[in-house]
A and B are shown apart, each in its own frame.
Chain A
Amino acid sequence: MKKIALFAALAMGLALALAYPTQTSAQGVVKIGAPLELTGKFTAYGQAGKRGIDMALDTFGHTAAGMKVEVKFVDIQSNAQTTVSGITELVEKDNVGFMIGPIASGVVSWATPPWRQKKPVWIVTGSSSTRNEEELGKEPRFFHPYPWDYDYHQSLAAALKHALGAGKKVAIVYSDGAYGRAHLPHAKQIFGKEGFTIVLEELVREGAADYSPALLKVRQARPDILLGLVQTSDGILLAKQVKANNLKVPYLVGTVYAALDEWQKATGEAGDGWVSVTTYLPGLKRPANPTYSKLLPSSADWEAAFRKRYNREPEFLDPLNYVATIGLLMAIERAGSANPDQVAAELEKLDEPTFYGRMHYVHSGGTLHQAFSEVIVIQRQKGASVVIYPQDVAQGSLISSSP
């Protein structure tokens, strides 16, 4: 009789184990994949992502809902082949239920097909390209805690209009990859709507070694504003060649690259005057979460902890990845399980004030789960980043780089 009862119990246990989704949890382990651009041309993004995730895990304590949390970092090397193989391995072999990263727009587009194989809950802490919004925005397990390109351009156009008035001429230089081509239509539409005149749209090749002919066309167009819709490595070359060719355009505007420490160091004095968007700037005084002050401290406390840990200033992707990871771990804790659907439901309910802004995924129209859409506009002035918009947090005014 005892043997029968033992067999029955074992059979029930086996049946329960088979019936329950095994996508994430094996013997009380929550598996999170972190496919990041740890090397290659987007290494600055991937490294910041890893710093934020690592810090969040240590702060949270490596357990959630009574289960051990295991994060597997995969270096996808910023290239298509490694991205596809890395994510296929995470999804098919490691059977992760959750993914954080990659970050760069083009890399996210490469990551999409292998992600679709099993569709773990996917938090993309970057990618402003709306090509990815069209592809992924309606996916119920896709979460996007980062602005889309139209959010950038709305803020940039508003900041420039506020400082200069309408009617100024804009020349756009855009790269031929997913990033530049996706940004271009929104930039044209939004700047046009704000009263700017687009006098030139010039395509440049991603990774090109020379922009002189494109800049010659810009010079001929005599714009008031040069808008560079390129990514970091091309943004460095663009800034250097604008300076080296003595291009006398009064206002130089980038997207997010001019906010990156890597861009600022590589461009040096050529970076001065460039306007950029960012989602976070050290020194913004935001309070701690009243309920979870240890996990989500004030911006000053978090920045102090970050500096102590990494001996460097945080960039906008550091706190974003920290907060997004904390959000995921909180959702797992609240779901009480590692079931992706239950965790996704808890992520949807999440509404917490953080030092990075309000962590609340909302249906934004194009995206089912969108958070942190607000951006601030900064300008590099005498080697420092100065907030110039919105007005309520502005630290200075827009100045011409070619007086």
Chain B
Amino acid sequence: MGIYLQLLIDGILLGGLYTLVATGISLSYGVIRVINFAHGEFIMLGAYAAFWAVTLSGLDPLLMLPAIIVGGGLFGYALQRLFIQRILNAPHVNQILLTFGFSLILQNIAAILWTGDLRSAPSVVSYSVTELGPLMVPHSRLVAFTVAVVLVIGMLAWLKWSELGRATRAVAQNHRAALLMGINIHLIYAICFGISASLGAAAGSLMSFLVTISPWMGFPLVVKSFAVVALGGLGSVLGTIVGGFVLGLSETAVSFFIPGGSGWAEGVSFVFLIAILVFRPRGIFGLAVEEDAR
């Protein structure tokens, strides 16, 4: 029984992180209809920001989290205003090429500025653990999970109850109608892209003490996030939350129960991706392959 509970804990903690990583992608697609391949690099930049905060000032990555969220948001806002805005009406392939190009540029800038050395940002919670009988709950993962949940709930609350959030939902549902209602849709696009980037940077900051930091750390995460988003339904934040936890629990279970399963677990996301595209292209909750409503 202890083993099953431990696997459940591990799976949920992993799922929380996947959710945070994927929510940013879901938001930017749901509102702006741009599939952002550079999202992994927002994560990477967040992780480096945490690393340099630790290295230069000795501050814990968790203390730096608010500043990193704000910095990530401003960076995303500026990126949208300067570049993404210009290709909103371009074919999807142009948008994909642009964000993929950003991804490569940001990776290389990071490699030039900070070298490709593998790094890590220690936190006070890095190696502490709570033991509940046979169960182990690493504080690093618990804190990362908790912060991830708080951020995602905060974003949902903003979407539901704030005026800007309601305007955002209106734009997501029908941007022409929103425009006719006097909503500044370009401002909403930029704000959403900024929030998406800030969620990515927050995820990177949390991952800075969990995994290894390198200029190339983002891309594998973003690929997995696409599976999460497709599983839940492209554009559906609620679906993304469900997708993140389904993937986290499935990977953990496959790793443990199938012989050599850790090797297979990384493929679980792609099995989901293929299955969902073939059997339910809309995803569990979402809009998946609907035509662009813009």
B138 interfacial by beta-carbon distance below 8 Å? yes
C-alpha spacing A204/B263, complex, angstroms: 5
Task: Tell me the number of A-to-B contacts counted with CB atoms below 8 Å.
Answer: 109
A208 interfacial by beta-carbon distance below 8 Å? yes
What residues of chain B lie closer than 8 Å to A94, measured between beta carbons? none
Interface size on A, residues (CB 8 A): 39
A237 interfacial by beta-carbon distance below 8 Å? yes
A266 interfacial by beta-carbon distance below 8 Å? yes
A43 interfacial by beta-carbon distance below 8 Å? yes
A39-B116, A44-B118, A203-B263 known, 18 other contacts, Cβ within 8 Å: A43-B116, A47-B115, A208-B265, A212-B252, A216-B3, A216-B6, A216-B256, A233-B118, A233-B214, A237-B211, A243-B127, A244-B127, A244-B129, A244-B140, A246-B136, A266-B120, A266-B213, A267-B120
Instruction: Assess whether B126 is in contact with A240, with CB atoms less than 8 Å apart.
Output: yes
Instruction: Assess whether A40 is in contact with B14, with CB atoms less than 8 Å apart.
Output: no
What residues of chain B lie closer than 8 Å to A47, measured between beta carbons? 115
Closest beta carbon of chain A to B228's beta carbon, Å: 13
Instruction: Assess whether A205 is in contact with B140, with CB atoms less than 8 Å apart.
Output: no
B40 interfacial by beta-carbon distance below 8 Å? no
B122 interfacial by beta-carbon distance below 8 Å? yes
What residues of chain A lie closer than 8 Å to B213, measured between beta carbons? 266
A365 interfacial by beta-carbon distance below 8 Å? no
Q: List 6 A-B contacts (CB under 8 A).
A: A39-B116, A205-B262, A244-B126, A244-B140, A246-B131, A262-B118
A113 interfacial by beta-carbon distance below 8 Å? no
For window 161-212 of A, CB contacts with B under 8 Å fall at 176, 202-205, 207-212
What residues of chain A lie closer than 8 Å to B210, measured between beta carbons? 209, 240, 244
**Which single member of B120, B122, B216, B265 contacts A41 (CB below 8 Å)?**
B216
**Which single member of B116, B136, B214, B216 contacts A245 (CB below 8 Å)?**
B136
B256's nearest neighbour on chain A, judged by CB, is A213
What residues of chain B lie closer than 8 Å to A233, measured between beta carbons? 118, 212, 214
Instruction: Assess whether A205 is in contact with B129, with CB atoms less than 8 Å apart.
Output: no
A217's nearest neighbour on chain B, judged by CB, is B256
Closest beta carbon of chain B to A376's beta carbon, Å: 24
Instruction: Assess whether B129 is in contact with A245, with CB atoms less than 8 Å apart.
Output: yes
Instruction: Assess whether A265 is in contact with B119, with CB atoms less than 8 Å apart.
Output: yes
Instruction: Assess whether B141 is in contact with A244, with CB atoms less than 8 Å apart.
Output: yes
A211's nearest neighbour on chain B, judged by CB, is B262
Closest beta carbon of chain A to B17's beta carbon, Å: 8
B220's nearest neighbour on chain A, judged by CB, is A207
Please list the residues of chain B having a beta carbon within 8 angstroms of any beta carbon in chain A.
3, 6-7, 10, 14, 111, 115-120, 122, 126-127, 129, 131, 136, 138, 140-141, 207, 210-214, 216, 220-221, 251-252, 255-256, 260-263, 265-266
Closest beta carbon of chain B to A176's beta carbon, Å: 5
Most buried by B among A204, A212, A245: A212
C-alpha spacing A268/B213, complex, angstroms: 14
Instruction: Assess whether A214 is in contact with B117, with CB atoms less than 8 Å apart.
Output: no
C-alpha spacing A233/B211, complex, angstroms: 9
C-alpha spacing A237/B217, complex, angstroms: 13
Instruction: Assess whether B211 is in contact with A209, with CB atoms less than 8 Å apart.
Output: yes
With A203-B263, A205-B263 as contacts: A266 and B256 at CB distance below 8 Å: no
What residues of chain B lie closer than 8 Å to A311, measured between beta carbons? none
What residues of chain A lie closer than 8 Å to B14, measured between beta carbons? 210, 212
What residues of chain A lie closer than 8 Å to B221, measured between beta carbons? 209
Instruction: Assess whether A213 is in contact with B116, with CB atoms less than 8 Å apart.
Output: no
C-alpha spacing A211/B61, complex, angstroms: 22
With A217-B256, A243-B127, A262-B117 as contacts: A212 and B10 at CB distance below 8 Å: yes
What residues of chain B lie closer than 8 Å to A203, measured between beta carbons? 260-263
B259's nearest neighbour on chain A, judged by CB, is A203
Instruction: Assess whether B118 is in contact with A244, with CB atoms less than 8 Å apart.
Output: no
Instruction: Assess whether A214 is in contact with B118, with CB atoms less than 8 Å apart.
Output: no
A291 interfacial by beta-carbon distance below 8 Å? no
C-alpha spacing A208/B260, complex, angstroms: 14
Instruction: Assess whether A205 is in contact with B265, with CB atoms less than 8 Å apart.
Output: yes
Most buried by A among B118, B214, B220, B221: B118
Contact with B along A270-285 (1 / 0, CB 8 A): 1000000000000000
Instruction: Assess whether B115 is in contact with A43, with CB atoms less than 8 Å apart.
Output: yes
Instruction: Assess whether B136 is in contact with A43, with CB atoms less than 8 Å apart.
Output: no
Instruction: Assess whether B138 is in contact with A236, with CB atoms less than 8 Å apart.
Output: no
What residues of chain B lie closer than 8 Å to A270, measured between beta carbons? 126-127
Instruction: Assess whether B120 is in contact with A213, with CB atoms less than 8 Å apart.
Output: no
Instruction: Assess whether A245 is in contact with B138, with CB atoms less than 8 Å apart.
Output: yes
What residues of chain B lie closer than 8 Å to A240, measured between beta carbons? 120, 126, 210-211
**Which single member of B3, B6, B141, B262 contacts A208 (CB below 8 Å)?**
B262
Instruction: Assess whether B138 is in contact with A216, with CB atoms less than 8 Å apart.
Output: no
C-alpha spacing A144/B221, complex, angstroms: 37
Closest beta carbon of chain B to A231's beta carbon, Å: 11
What residues of chain B lie closer than 8 Å to A155, measured between beta carbons? none
Instruction: Assess whether A220 is in contact with B116, with CB atoms less than 8 Å apart.
Output: no
C-alpha spacing A204/B251, complex, angstroms: 12
What residues of chain A lie closer than 8 Å to B265, measured between beta carbons? 205, 208, 213
**Which single member of A40, A41, A176 contacts B263 (CB below 8 Å)?**
A176
C-alpha spacing A232/B214, complex, angstroms: 12
C-alpha spacing A262/B212, complex, angstroms: 11
With A44-B117, A240-B120, A244-B126 as contacts: A214 and B262 at CB distance below 8 Å: yes
Most buried by B among A204, A213, A236, A237: A213
C-alpha spacing A216/B141, complex, angstroms: 15
What residues of chain B lie closer than 8 Å to A44, measured between beta carbons? 117-118
